[in-house]
């Protein structure tokens, strides 16, 4: 005679001891962690002299008109070819390869005119190029 029933109870995993151990480890870590406090540093910032920068400019402003004409540092160029633009930029740089080329193009100037300036700057070994832009008249800075 077998008085046992045919169903077996499935074993259960008890998570309560596991959670207790994790809480103890967490409390241990919180209590033993040291928090470093940053001390205040006294910093002497450098002073800039704006007048000295104006006396020794290291930038070349290349203006591109809507009709495809070029001007380097407010001197209008006669030709519009890349070779003439390269020669004029090299002359304006006077061997200074650290000069920054600022391209100030008209809003309606063709892309090719701006690309010609970039190509001429590359040929003249002037690699620092930036573009000038202005804020729209309706927007203000915060």
Evaluate whether residue 119 is within a structural domain: yes
Evaluate whether residue 78 is within a structural domain: yes
Evaluate whether residue 91 is within a structural domain: yes
- What CATH number has the domain bearing residue 105? 3.30.420.270
Predicted local confidence at residue 105, as pLDDT? 87
Evaluate whether residue 141 is within a structural domain: no
Evaluate whether residue 5 is within a structural domain: no
In the chain, the number of structural domains is 1
Evaluate whether residue 125 is within a structural domain: yes
Evaluate whether residue 77 is within a structural domain: yes
**Measured distance CA(99)–CA(129) in Å, rounded:** 9
Predicted local confidence at residue 55, as pLDDT? 52
What is the domain extent for residue 121?
Answer: 55-131
**What would the two tokens of residue 96 be?**
């200074």
Kindly report, residue by residue over 10-59, the tens digit of the pLDDT: 778 888 999 999 999 999 988 887 666 655 556 566 666 656 555 546 88
pLDDT class for 118, splitting at 50, 70, 90? very high
Predicted local confidence at residue 109, as pLDDT? 85
Evaluate whether residue 84 is within a structural domain: yes
- Residue 44 has φ and ψ, to the nearest 5°, of -100, 115
Kindly report, residue by residue over 68-102, the tens digit of the pLDDT: 889 888 888 877 788 999 999 998 888 888 889 99
């Amino acid at each position: 005679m077998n008085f046992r029933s045919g169903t077996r109870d499935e074993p259960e995993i008890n998570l309560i001891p596991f959670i207790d151990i994790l809480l103890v480890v967490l409390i241990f870590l919180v209590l033993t962690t040291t928090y470093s406090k940053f001390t205040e540093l006294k910093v002497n910032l450098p002073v800039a002299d704006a007048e000295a920068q104006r006396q020794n400019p290291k930038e070349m402003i290349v203006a591109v008109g809507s009709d495809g004409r070029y001007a380097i540092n407010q001197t209008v160029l006669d030709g519009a070819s890349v070779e003439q633009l390269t020669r004029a930029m090299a002359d304006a740089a006077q061997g200074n390869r650290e000069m920054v080329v600022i391209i100030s193009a008209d809003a309606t100037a063709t892309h090719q005119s701006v690309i010609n300036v970039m190509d001429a700057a590359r040929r003249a070994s002037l690699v620092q190029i930036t573009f000038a832009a202005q804020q729209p008249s309706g927007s203000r800075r915060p």
